[in-house]
C-alpha cells in the first residue's frame, strides 16, 4: 500500500541546512561573551540540535529535558508532563531552549517557566518551525527557522506515530494521508 507514493516534502535537507547556517550566525552573535547552555526538548529536537550546534565556533554546553504533551494524537493534548529533568546546573547561565516546533505554546511555555526555577541568567527559545496560527498560550520564540501554516508535518525529528523522525527532510501529511511506505491495516 502506497509504495509508489512520494512524500510531500515541505523543506529539503539542503533548505534546512542553509537556514540553520543563518540561524547559527545570529545566535552566535547574540551570545558573544555569554555562558551558553542549550537545553533541547526531547525527542523532536534531536536532529535539529545536532545540526545546529555543529555550526558553533565558540564553546557551549548542551543538555536535555523530556516532556510529553502530544501522545499519538495529531493535536496537542494540553497536559505537560516532566519525563526527564535537566542534569546540568544552569544557575547564572544563558539558556537557549531548542525545540522542533512551536504550536499551541503549551510545551515551551511550561519548559520556560520550569527552567526559570533554576535561576538562569536568561532563557530564550529557538525553534526550527513555528505554526503561525497555533498559539493558545502566549509564547514567543526568539529564533525561528521557518513559519508554516497549520498542517501536520513529520521528518527531521518530528514523528508520525513515533516513526519517521530519522528522515533528513520535513514532509507534510493531509488529514487522511499516511507517510509513503506506512502499512495500513484494513
Residues with a known catalytic role: 103
Of 20-28, 42-50, 121-129, 136-144: span binding Mg ion (CB under 5 A): 42-50
* x-marked contacts with ligand 5GP along 138-167 as a string, rule CB under 6 A: --------------xxx---xx--------
In 29-142, the DSSP E strands lie at: 36-42, 61-68, 81-84, 94-102, 122-131
Rounded Cα gap, residues 137 and 99, in angstroms: 16
Contact status: 112 vs ligand 5GP (CB under 6 A): no
Contact status: 105 vs Mg ion (CB under 5 A): no
* x-marked contacts with ligand 5GP along 40-79 as a string, rule CB under 6 A: ----x------------------------xx-----x---
| DSSP per-residue string spanning 133-170 | T--SS----SEEEEEE-S-EEEBTTB-BTTB-TT-SSE
User: Whose Cβ is closer to ligand 5GP: residue 65's or residue 153's?
Assistant: 153
Of 49-57, 81-89, 93-101, 114-122: span binding ligand 5GP (CB under 6 A): 93-101
Contact status: 130 vs ligand 5GP (CB under 6 A): no
Count of positions (residues) in the chain? 186
Of 4-12, 23-31, 41-49, 143-151: span binding Mg ion (CB under 5 A): 41-49
Q: Which of 27, 22, 26, 23 is nearest to 37 (CA)?
A: 27
Select the residue whose beta carbon is closest to ligand 5GP and give its number: 104
Contact, 42 vs 65, CB < 8 A? yes
Contact, 123 vs 116, CB < 8 A? yes
- Omega cis (within 30) before 32: no
For ligand 5GP, the binding residues (CB under 6 A) are: 44, 69-70, 76, 99-107, 152-154, 158-159
Amino acid at each position: 500500500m502506497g509504495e509508489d507514493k512520494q512524500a510531500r516534502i515541505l523543506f529539503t535537507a539542503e533548505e534546512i541546512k542553509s537556514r540553520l547556517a543563518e540561524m547559527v550566525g545570529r545566535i552566535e552573535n547574540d551570545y558573544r561573551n555569554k555562558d551558553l547552555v542549550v537545553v533541547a526538548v526531547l525527542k523532536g529536537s534531536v536532529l535539529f540540535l545536532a545540526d545546529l550546534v555543529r555550526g558553533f565556533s565558540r564553546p557551549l554546553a548542551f543538555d536535555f529535558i523530556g516532556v510529553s504533551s502530544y501522545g499519538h494524537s495529531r493535536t496537542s493534548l494540553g497536559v505537560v508532563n516532566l519525563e526527564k529533568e535537566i542534569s546540568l546546573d544552569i544557575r547564572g547561565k544563558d539558556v537557549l531552549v531548542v525545540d522542533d516546533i512551536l504550536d499551541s505554546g503549551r510545551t515551551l511555555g511550561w519548559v520556560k517557566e520550569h527552567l526559570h526555577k533554576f535561576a538562569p541568567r536568561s532563557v530564550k527559545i529557538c525553534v526550527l518551525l513555528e505554526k503561525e496560527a497555533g498559539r493558545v498560550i502566549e509564547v514567543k520564540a526568539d529564533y525561528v527557522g521557518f513559519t508554516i501554516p497549520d498542517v501536520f508535518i513529520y521528518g527531521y525529528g518530528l514523528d508520525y506515530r513515533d516513526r519517521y523522525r530519522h528522515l533528513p527532510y520535513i514532509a507534510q501529511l493531509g488529514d487522511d494521508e499516511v507517510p509513503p511506505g506506512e502499512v495500513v491495516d484494513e
